[in-house]
Structure 1
Amino acid sequence: MKKLVNDPSRVVREMLEGIARTAPHVAVLGDENVLVRKALAHPPARPVAVISGGGSGHEPAHGGYVGRGMLSAAVCGEVFTSPSTDAVLAAIRATAGPNGALLVVKNYTGDRLNFGLAAELARAEGIPVEIVVVADDVSLRARTERGQRRGIAGTVLVHKIAGAAAARGDALAQVAAIARDAARNLGTMGVALDGCTLPGAQQAGFRLADDEIELGMGIHGEKGVERTIPMAAGDLAETLLANIAGELKLKSGERVALLVNGLGATPAMELSIVMRDAFEGLSRRGVVVERAWAGTFLSALNMPGCSISVLRLDDARLALLDADTEACAWPGVGTLNREIRVEPAHVSSDSRAQPAAARADAGNGPWARRLEPALHAVAHALIENEARFTDLDARAGDGDLGASMKRAAQALLTLPASALGTPDGALAATGAALRRAIAGSSGPFYATALLRASRRLAGRAQPNARDWVDAMRCAAEAIGELGGAKPGDRTMLDALVPAVEALEHGLQSARSVTEAWADAVRAAESGAQDTARMTPRAGRASYLGARAIGTPDGGAVVVACWLKALQPHIAAD
């Protein structure tokens, strides 16, 4: 398994040195794998030290939460391994004064033993120490007592609350009581989509089949409560929330904080979707989400999956969550956006600004009757060739061309006949539809081309064949200007420009319009195939250089496709 490491036996030390290099307020404690705050007051003036930690591999926990207002020290064991007693004791000695230290411990045997023994040793030295054990995993609630459950991502919220209480000067007993109360009102459940790989290992510690997910998976790969089939994000969020809400006995009208946590290999896109669904799931229950965060807060190396944490709130707990901290991994106040949608400004233009009667007349007019079936033919051709376009684009780009052209086709099929009453209006309406439907580069190219062509035909109620050729040439010029490409650069222009030239030449040679269009289609198809021998000099494929040779340009193939689809609809009149 490829990893960005030097020596697997030194990953934790080198990681901590990297963290410290970009966080001026922290430092590595001697030879121990411990990160501590640098700007601590003289021991008699120090507030309660809040210390946490555990095995590494959960980044940004725990080192990312060291800083004023959160942790005083993070004790980092080897990957997925509890830190030693001596390392915990060193952290206590380095950060605690007469006001003592609070140890926030996730409920794992190794952590409880080593942090517990370190606490006893510190007390023997005269340092007051309290321990708070977090056991927020609700997945096994039907099988185990609360005190026997695992501590997982919700622990980060306990870090924040305890750190804020300590920073404002609360006594040790009070900080501990606040932290314990938060832990009792906290529930978390996660899901894994696959396993994770330790540094130095050649493969993941376990694998899930393509048709399997693990509900309730622990943060070290421990088995969950159920292995089941994959489900949509909304169904998965509801499953996790149902267990959390059941454990906390949440009631309508209660206030909570919501944390959606990635396990290390989950894109922000997916976490945002889960956030959306979790927020809606809580809202359906009448539960008020006061604060929310989505991101990676306590990971499991490179495990794909997520967890949802819910913390019951009161005013005191909310104030501690909102308190300032310099910890670099804390995302800040998770203020909710209650109104996430605004209506766009509408500009009255084209057929939509016409009276209803005029729109109806346009939809029944001769141009609409000719143009609508032609556009539908293009749409069906694009849909039929979606897989082909995707394959071509995947070889030299990001593989989204097929999906983009399918969206274009759907836009064409839903374009109202009333928008097709005049040639210039039809081109403008088609360009606007494609602009809205197609993401990436294809949308702007086609929209710009159609808009330029529309302007060329403006005022021509019955454009002749040469007018249409002029409009096509204007469209090609607009694409070249917008993208900075020219024929020979391996783009859609290598099909479109030869088609325009062939059409123009055919008409000048007194060939019929249908014959000239057939020439244009052949020229476009030939031009598209010629791109397979070209080195790309524009667009995303240009990054590949000669590696793109051998495969036709997808954009050029699309042009040949829609030109051919229009062929049966080209008539001399």
Structure 2
Amino acid sequence: MSARHFINDPTALVNAALQSVTYTNPSVALDAENKILYRRPVGDRSNNRDEHQVSLISGGGAGHEPSFAAMVGAGLLSAAVSGTIFASPSAEQVRKAIMGRVDTGRGALVVVMNYTGDILNFGMAVEKAKAAGLDVDMVVVADDVGVGRTKGGKVGRRGIAGTVLVQKIAGALAAQGRSLQEVAKVARLVANNLVSVGASLEHVHVPGRAPPDPKSKDGLGFDEVEVGMGIHNEPGSGRAKVQLPELVKTMLSQLLDQSDADRAFLNINSNEVVLLVNNLGGVSPLELGGITAEVVGQLGAQWGIRPVRVLSGTYMTSLNGLGFSISLLNVVNTDIGGPSMIQLLDDPCEATGWAAPIRKETWEAKNEATRDDNTALGGETKSSGLNINAEPMKEALTAGLQAVISVEPDVTRYDTVVGDGDCGIGLKRGAEGILNHLSKTKLTGDVILDLANIVSVVEMDMDGTSGAIYSIFLNALVHSLKTFAPGDATDVKIWTGALKQSCEALSKYTPARPGDRTLVDALYPFVEVLGKTGDLKKAAEASRDAALGTKGMKASLGRTVYIGGSGYEEVPDPGAWGLACFFLGLAGLMPSEEGWDTI
């Protein structure tokens, strides 16, 4: 046992924590394979309110408990999907939640925080559900003012603890039988009238990872506080050596000062304001009470705000983060001819994360029903007639995937400098998964059928932002190739046309463009040069040159934006380099100590 954690295996920890929710709330069941917590169906279904209401689905990386898992219950979430610690769940997990673990007769609303991986994975699942004929909408919450407009750039504000207010109000409205359009409208209204900011005395440590270096320049001093720290250890607006009154004054100023052009995201002008003081996980209830008193006191004395509701407790954590966040909701008219935001916030629910009591009737029902029907989770891709010689295709794919695996140490090292260090491992995991698939499955030569099978491997084996981007792009590529079928798949024009359409599809889910220092910097040149020349080798070399050109390029998107520093001057973008290596391998080039040589 470590001095830091009772459970050091992160996988076992997440699985056990999810299972525990079913012990504390008997109305909730767990799909352990997909890390989905969902409301159990009622036996005779005659009084199952879920069938007569919009289903509300949310989720994200583990480590933020009680969000999102313990927010599942009557009057709140219908289902929550969990990733690994601080990593978004895969699109496949989310898709199964939407299409197989909740009722969708009245539609479903997905609420997600503004993090790239979450938006991409949840977004792809939403699009797949729509394609299957379901009525699904998605609301993105971006309430954090800790990173201002200038630093946030295209990424925008992060989603933090205020998200639970969106979930609670939307969940209560859904439970009253309102339409998807009304629930989505009010959820967006709450999200647009919400601001939050956090502060922490130290970074948190993720179980299973090496302990942080106490001498690291990234570590906080004993008397320092990080103002605006994100829920994944991302830095905020700066560090300070202040006592609580001055800290709260700074945080409230960032939330309310309209003269701060970089952070004046919301003008609190309502007569009714809701205050949420959230424990990031490591603050004692005693100390959180003192913090809450300070916040309420300053709101009244300095800003003339007397909240109509004060919520203080643990709603969204950063593991055992030694910090807190403040959220303010500007209560406005919902314009739906019904309950107000306050009434919806007060509405009872049965979710242990909201600290609402579970009715004795629920306990005594001893409901053990589960959802095991997988018939709605997808169909098979049919033969298309767009064919190619299978053996050369397999050899080229194998070479490209082996190239990705061979450069994993470099990609990991680059991502350690400018990211969170998992890019190389994620790419390697995906490449190994596809190679394993190729070793067990004989390719048919039908490129659409073969590619669709590979996409399934990518969706299951790659998580995080890269996995979502590759999954969206490859799904779009399958769809685009279908517009050309049947025919000869050796025609370069077919591939360039389909690749361009796939780039356009990807652009709907990410603002990344060449020059933003992402894998897109390696993707677009490859597609462009392939279209102009029809030469795979020249296209791969263009991708390589563009990837190398990201060295010294300041990031506009991704976690690098929050990390900052000068690391971007030292290494190329990890994702761009990994993709370029795949293209080079695909074209018959492999890395060596002397450079890139023809095989």
Q: TM-score over 0.5 for the alignment?
A: yes
Change (3 A) 1:30 1:154: same
1:243 equivalent to 2:267? Answer no
Is the contact made by 2:228 and 2:238 (CA closer than 8 Å) also made in structure 1? yes
Distance 2:118 2:126 in 1: 12
Contact kept? 2:112, 2:139, Cα under 8 Å: yes
Quick check: 2:194–2:266 contact (8 Å CA) kept in 1?
A: no
**1:119-518 superposed matches below 5 A:** 119-143=126-150, 144=152, 148-204=156-212, 207-229=219-241, 231-246=242-257, 247=264, 249-250=266-267, 254-284=271-301, 285-314=303-332, 316-332=340-356
Do the aligned partners of 1:252 and 1:287 also contact (CA within 8 Å) in 2? no
- Please report how far the alpha carbon of residue 44 of structure 1 lies from its aligned counterpart in structure 2 after TM superposition: 8.9
1:185-222: CA deviations, max 9, x gaps? Answer: 00000011001111112424853111321111000001
Aligned to 1:77: 83
| Deviation at residue 64 of structure 1 after TM alignment | 1.0
Judging changes above 3 Å, is the alpha-carbon distance between structure 1 residues 312 and 331 closer, same or farther for their aligned structure 2 residues?
A: farther
Note the alpha carbon deviations across 1:494-529, whole angstroms, 9 max, x for none: xxxxxxxxxxxxxxxxxxxxxxxxxxxxxxxxxxxx
**Cα offset for 1:129?**
0.7
- 1:253, distance to aligned residue in structure 2 (A): 6.4
**Aligned-pair distance for 1:262?**
1.1
Encode CA deviations 1:317-349: one digit per residue, 9 max, x unaligned.
11110111001111359xxxxxxxxxxxxxxxx
Distance 1:279 1:31, change over 3 A: same
Aligned residue type for 1:279? V
Q: 1:203 to 1:275 in 2, by over 3 A?
A: same
Note closer, same or farther for the CA distance 1:120–1:237 as it changes in structure 2 (3 Å cut).
same
Q: Distance in 1 between matches of 2:17 and 2:180?
A: 31
Does the C-alpha gap of structure 1 residues 255 and 332 become closer, same or farther in structure 2, counting only changes over 3 Å?
farther
Query: Take 2:204 and 2:246, find their aligned partners in 1: how far apart are those partners?
Result: 24
Corresponding residue number in structure 2 for 1:369 = none
| Residue pair 2:8, 2:208 contacting (<8 A) in 1 also | no
TM-aligned CA distance change 1:29 to 1:177, over 3 Å: same
Deviations 1:453-501 (A, max 9, x none): xxxxxxxxxxxxxxxxxxxxxxxxxxxxxxxxxxxxxxxxxxxxxxxxx
Structure 1 segments of 4 or more deviating over 4 A? 40-44, 248-253
Compute the TM-score of the two structures, normalised by the length of structure 1.
Answer: 0.55
Q: Does the 8 A contact of 1:233 with 1:273 survive in 2?
A: no
CA gap 1:169/1:204 in 2 versus in 1, 3 angstroms:
farther
In structure 2, relative to structure 1, the CA distance for the partners of 1:95 and 1:249 (3 Å cut) is closer
1:90 matches 2:107: no
Deviation at 1:234, TM superposition (A): 1.9
Amino acid at match of 2:246: D
Contact 2:195–2:255 (CA<8 Å) still a contact in 1?
yes
> For residues 221 and 257 of structure 1, do their structure 2 counterparts lie closer, same or farther at Cα, with a shift above 3 Å needed?
same
Q: Larger % of helix: which?
A: 1
| Aligned partner of residue 82 in structure 1, secondary structure | coil
Matches of 1:17 and 1:257 in 2, distance apart?
Answer: 32
Give the letter for the 1:320 counterpart.
Answer: L
SS at match of 1:303: coil
Q: Distance in 2 between matches of 1:185 and 1:223?
A: 24
Matches of 1:332 and 1:311, distance apart in 2: 21
CA positional deviation for 1:308: 0.3
**Structure 2, unaligned runs of 5 or more:** 258-263, 334-339, 358-599
Partner in structure 2 of residue 24 of structure 1 = 26
Quote how far apart the aligned CAs of 1:146 are: 9.1
AA of the residue aligned to 1:239: T
* Letter of the structure 1 residue corresponding to residue 329 of structure 2: L
Quick check: 1:43–1:97 contact (8 Å CA) kept in 2? no
> Cα–Cα, structure 1 residues 44 and 317, in superposed 2: closer, same or farther, change >3 Å?
closer
Q: Please, what TM-score do these two structures have when normalized by structure 2?
A: 0.53
AA of the residue aligned to 1:303: G
The number of aligned residues is: 332
Q: Which 10-residue stretch deviates more, 51-60 or 323-332?
A: 323-332
* Counterpart AA for 1:308: I
Distance 1:9 1:253, change over 3 A: closer
AA at the equivalent of 1:71: L
Distance in 2 (CA, whole Å) between partners of 1:226 and 1:207 is 13
The alpha-carbon distance between structure 1 residues 43 and 260, as it changes in their structure 2 partners (threshold 3 A), is closer
Secondary structure of the residue aligned to 1:208 is coil
Q: Give the aligned residue type for 1:301.
A: L
Amino acid of the structure 2 residue aligned with 1:245: L
1:133 alignment partner, SS class: strand
Q: How far has the Cα of 1:136 moved from its partner?
A: 0.2
Pair 200,286 (structure 1): closer, same or farther in 2 beyond 3 Å: same
State the match for 1:517 in structure 2. none
After superposition, give the CA deviation of every residue in 1:519-567 in whole Å (9 maximum; x if it has no partner): xxxxxxxxxxxxxxxxxxxxxxxxxxxxxxxxxxxxxxxxxxxxxxxxx
Which residue in 2 is equivalent to 1:14?
Answer: 16
Deviation at 1:8, TM superposition (A): 2.8
Higher relative contact order (CA 8 A, sep 6+): 2
For residues 499-538 of structure 1, what are the structure 2 equivalents within 5 Å?
A: none
SS in 2 for 1:203: coil
